[in-house]
Amino acid sequence: MTVFWHELRQGRTAFVIWTASIAFLLVICIFLFPEIKDEMGTVGNMFASMGSFTAAFGMERLNIGTLTGFYSIECGNILGLGGAFFASLTGASIISKEEKDKTAEFLLTHPVSRIHVITEKLAAVLTQAAAMDVIIFILSVLSIRSIGEDVPWKEILLLHGAYYLLWLELAGICFGLSAFLCRGSMGIGLGLAAVMYFLNLVANISKQAEFLKYITPFAYCEGADILSDGCLDIRLVLIGMSFAGIGIAAAYIRYAAKDIHG
Amino acid sequence: MDAIRTDGLTKYYGKARGIEQIDLIVPQGGFFGFIGPNGAGKSTTIRTLLGLIRPSAGRAQIMGLDVVKEREEILKRVGYLPSETAFYPRMSVREALKFSADLHRQDCRKEADRLCERLHLDVGRRIDELSFGNRKKAAIVCALQHEPDLLILDEPTGGLDPLMQREFFAILRERNQAGATIFLSSHILSEVQHNCSDAAIIREGRIIASGSVEELSRTGTKRVSVRGTLDCSALSGVRDLQISQGHTDFLYSGNMQSLLQTAALGDIQDISITEPDLEEVFLHYYGKGGDEE
């Protein structure tokens, strides 16, 4: 587990900054909820009558005056997109940084197999994403309690579970790309997360673009669907996980055979 | 069993030549020099031996183990010192040494402390704050602390001051006497001449000469130094001619009888004819269209 712990130590600062930033925004958002709830009459109507904007975020099917509706729209966007950026960035850089920073030669001239290295690096990415989800979940629950609301355990667990799968999928795809890259991983990581996010907005707005739901992982994190169905869309999740699996498998195949120049 | 053995080892980067048909034998317990200028293929050979890059053709074995199939087993017994080591950011020397030892699954603290003391390396400092020379010392300790059977050193003395270079080679000689094989890649010929028993010379990706350092020095070329006047214009086989204030100095690979007859016609107070040093031998091998850098 030497490489695993090493990666966690190396990624500690980025992890703390991303987790603190997302958690801070999320907690602020939760503390705004009582005010939103009080003004539900005007705010709710406003959110429900913004045409494409309303459709893009699924607000026509959610009641923003309820904690679950508010959490899935406002907090969900912060958590989903913020965590997606972190997972994509981490996944995209964790292999390629070794060649970019020229540390690959140091690492791979030690008696550790490339398969071992890549497995521990993958475990480090997934652990960081899981730790971020758990920390933010705990802070969310505490914040909900502190504003005097009951915690909607099932809904909030489903939402956080979906976001973890979203991060896992993006991290897996970026992990695969990372094995092919020597540099430029940051742009690819951020770009992929942003593109997927916007694909989901487009899929929500246009009926012709609904097929995009099978491409973007944000589709199975759609709060309106999760809250109304009481579960995740397993079909979309399985498609997403197969994308992640392909990315991870590509990383193993490529990294095991590639020439190391850094 | 040889420490290193390669048969027709070849590496191409696309269409670009890396190394071609490298046949190399480094006996176990030897102190072997690998000589060549920048771009000749020294680092490509080393990177192939360490499994960082895959050969395009041929094969290589270290201690009888295949470098492609048995890479991990090999690396347990190898210490590698690159010309420039990139360490991870924000690590102290102590953490870098521990990370390296952990990857070897060994407790190397005792040997690391001994080496750090000899090389005057402060383990509490952060690596990114160290000078190039001190980073090199940290890399030396990483390469030596697990007491490997084979040390592969790529341009190892860059950045070390002369005193540290002397200490470093003293450590290498001790390791060699204790049974370790040393493979020293360098373009500093005096390093090879003073420390190695055997050597190979690589040029444009191919081994052009190998053998004992003593044998390699016997090229049929002599260094001729004359005090007085000597007209060399009629002699063939004269290179590196330098004439200054009553001194004539050149490398001579022509007929000895012709040299003596020419010398008899000149006004000579003193003459010496000696074996050239390895630097001159190197120029001999690279003289005809070599890619000196």
Provide ipTM, 2 decimals: 0.84
Question: In chain B, which residues have their Cβ closer than 8 Å to the Cβ of A107?
Answer: 103
Model-level pTM?
0.84
Q: Which residue of B has its CA nearest to A258?
A: B53
Q: Which of B202, B209, B243, B208 is nearest to B226 (CA)?
A: B243
Token duo for residue A12: 């500690």
How many CB atoms are closer than 10 A to CB B289?
A: 8
Q: How far apart are CA A45 and CA A50, in angstroms?
A: 9
Q: Which residues of A touch B (CB under 8 A)?
A: 2-3, 6, 10, 101-113, 257, 259-262
Q: How many domains does chain A have?
A: 1
Q: Identify which has the larger pLDDT, A49 or A81.
A: A81
For residue A90, the enclosing domain spans 2-257
Question: In chain A, which residues have their Cβ closer than 8 Å to the Cβ of B105?
Answer: 111
Give the total residue count for chain A.
262
Residue A262 belongs to a domain: no
Q: Which of A2, A101, A110 sits opposite B75 (nearest CB)?
A: A110
Residue A218 belongs to a domain: yes
Q: Which of B80, B90, B105 sits opposite A109 (nearest CB)?
A: B80
Run of H or E including B265: helix B256-265
Q: Which of B47, B75, B86 sits opposite A111 (nearest CB)?
A: B75
Q: Identify which has the larger pLDDT, A5 or A210.
A: A5
Q: What is the pLDDT of residue B291?
A: 41
How many CB atoms are closer than 10 A to CB A6?
A: 20
Q: Identify which has the larger pLDDT, A246 or B232.
A: A246
Is the pLDDT score of B290 beyond 50? no
Give B176-227 pLDDT, tens digit per residue: 999 999 999 988 878 888 899 999 999 889 998 888 888 777 767 788 999 9
Task: Check residue A110 and report its DSSP letter.
Answer: S
Residue A70 belongs to a domain: yes
Q: What is the pLDDT of residue B113?
A: 96
Residue A245 belongs to a domain: yes
Give A91-115 pLDDT, tens digit per residue: 999 998 998 888 999 999 999 999 9
Q: Which of A61, A71, A82 is nearest to A29 (CA)?
A: A71
Q: What is the pLDDT of residue A55?
A: 64
- For chain A, the average pLDDT equals 89
Q: Are B114 and B68 in contact (CB under 8 A)?
A: no
Residue A228 belongs to a domain: yes
Amino acid A23 reads A
Strand partners for B81: B153
Residue B287 confidence class, pLDDT cut points 50, 70, 90: low
Q: How far apart are CA A105 and CA A117, in angstroms?
A: 13
Give B221-262 pLDDT, tens digit per residue: 788 999 988 888 888 888 878 888 888 988 888 888 999 988
Residues 6 or more apart whose Cβ sits within 8 Å of residue A89: A14, A174, A185, A186, A189, A190
Token duo for residue A220: 């199975």
Give the β-pairing of B267-274 and B222-229. antiparallel
Q: Which residue of B has its CA nearest to A102?
A: B86
Q: Which of B51, B59, B54 is nearest to B9 (CA)?
A: B59
Least confident of A18-27, A144-153, A221-230, B14-23: A221-230
Q: Which of A79, A167, A95, A158 is nearest to A126 (CA)?
A: A167
Q: What is the pLDDT of residue A183?
A: 72
Q: How far apart are CA B91 and CA B88, in angstroms?
A: 6
